[in-house]
Structure 1
Amino acid sequence: MTTKTLFRAGLALALALPVAAFAADVPQSFTATYQVLKDGGPLGEATVTLKSAGGGQFEYTNQTKGTSGLAAMLGANVSETSRFTWAGQVPQAVSYHYQLDAAVKSKTRDLTVQGGNVQVQDNKKSFTYTAVPGMVERNTLPLALGLALRSGQQQVAFPVAVKQQVENQQFKVSAKEKITVPAGAFDAIRVDRTDADRGFNAWYVPSKYPVPVKLAQKDGGDLTMELVKYEAR
């Protein structure tokens, strides 16, 4: 197991456009706490927070700490911070910062949307490519999915800014399932990624929460995030 494995769960989006009028039903602020599991065993904890950053922008953060196993021994922690503007119900990317700190390694990635381009600094490597209207990034993608589901969509595609390009990632509602997480038992809908075999599954209760109650993906093993607590502010 590597420290990178823990942080692939990091829950997971400015273009040269005017700031969209705020939709009445988009979340303004909240804090969600998750437990992180690796192959069913405890690995860490994550705190996801949304708050206003002023000037029509919002800040969305995911702070993940290794609390068990090798991740705890190495003092592994990751932080992801996104800035975005609401484009309707889509959290449209302004910037994204990723920071991994551990005893044996560190890693950073910065993504900035400026002048119609996406500029990425990945440690010592730089990339530039053209931005796309309505573009999100990996940290706020789960939020974008949750809001699409709440509006009744069964299939959705998002242009997602990754390291070297914009990917058109596609998702669909695959099933209704009863699941139990630390936050409670829910009748949830499961969403799967369909454009690539990435082992991405997320369970949502859109009427209650804009973020998943459970998120699972495969990266050298089964990695899962389960909701512990959600507080609207």
Structure 2
Amino acid sequence: MTTRTLLRAGLALALALPAAAFAADVPQSFTATYQVSKGGDPLGEATVTLKPAGGGQFEYSNQTKGTSGLAAMLGANVSETSRFTWAGQVPQAVSYHYQLDAAIKSKTRDLAVQDGTVQVQDNKKSYTYSAVPGMVERNTLPLALGVALRSGQKDLALPVAVKQEVENQKFKVSATEKVTVPAGSFEAVRVDRTDADRGFNAWYVPGKYPVPVKLAQKDGGDMTMELVKFEGR
């Protein structure tokens, strides 16, 4: 995958309409609460928050607390915090911090974008690679998909900053399905990842929420998030 190809993919969402058209169309602040399960068993709760951070940046955080089963016994908590700027409809990455705290394990990962370079510190290992315009990261990816769906897009490609490189990840609206979660029952569009067999599925109600009402991901654990409550704009 060449840098030029990734550049075109990353800008596809941002350049679909003039930037001024997006000013009132991207979310500015909200709080979404989810229940989290692993392999069908209750695990905990997650709070996803978006808020302005000043200087044209926004902060997007996902705080997951283990409240059931082994996660509660181990006191497992995961914190993910991102800083980004809206590049059209894309939450373009500025920084990302991951923190896992548990009785038997801890892990951190930090990502920072500066002067066209991505610097990653993964526990004691360091990685450096070139950034791509319109690049997001793992935490803001569901938000990027939700905002793109609101503009009617069905096939999506996004450059995603991961540990050692930028991945050109592809997603497709595969079906419309009825989904029942604690927040209610919805006619939702299901989005699947198509460039790799990673078991990523997300259900959105684009006219109502910028984040999924349900998200299931097998990569990194058979985890499911279901919306409980949403507040914001």
CA contact (8 A) 2:200 2:219 kept: no
Question: Which residue of 1 is the match for residue 208 of structure 2?
Answer: 208
- In the TM superposition, residue 223 of structure 1 has moved relative to its aligned partner by 1.8
Over the matched positions of the two proteins, sequence identity in percent amounts to 87
Listed as ranges, the matches of 1:1-233 within 5 Å are 23-219=23-219, 222-232=222-232
- In the TM superposition, residue 37 of structure 1 has moved relative to its aligned partner by 1.1
Normalising by structure 1, what TM-score?
0.90
Gaps spanning 5+ residues in structure 1: where? 1-19
Q: Residue 101 and residue 220 in structure 1: after superposition, are their counterparts in 2 closer, same or farther (change >3 A)?
A: closer
Q: Distance in 2 between matches of 1:165 and 1:36?
A: 29
Q: Distance in 2 between matches of 1:88 and 1:38?
A: 35
Q: Between Structure 1 and Structure 2, which shows a larger proportion of helix residues?
A: 2
Select the structure with the greater relative contact order (CA < 8 A; seq sep ≥ 6): 1
Normalising by structure 2, what TM-score?
0.90
Q: Residue 133 and residue 108 in structure 1: after superposition, are their counterparts in 2 closer, same or farther (change >3 A)?
A: same
1:106-149 deviation digits (Å, cap 9, x = unpaired)? 10000000010000000000000000000000000000000110
Q: Distance in 1 between matches of 2:148 and 2:166?
A: 20
Q: What secondary structure, in the 3-state scheme, does the structure 1 residue paired with 2:197 have?
A: coil
- In the TM superposition, residue 98 of structure 1 has moved relative to its aligned partner by 0.3
Q: What secondary structure, in the 3-state scheme, does the structure 2 residue paired with 1:197 have?
A: coil
Q: What secondary structure, in the 3-state scheme, does the structure 2 residue paired with 1:70 have?
A: helix
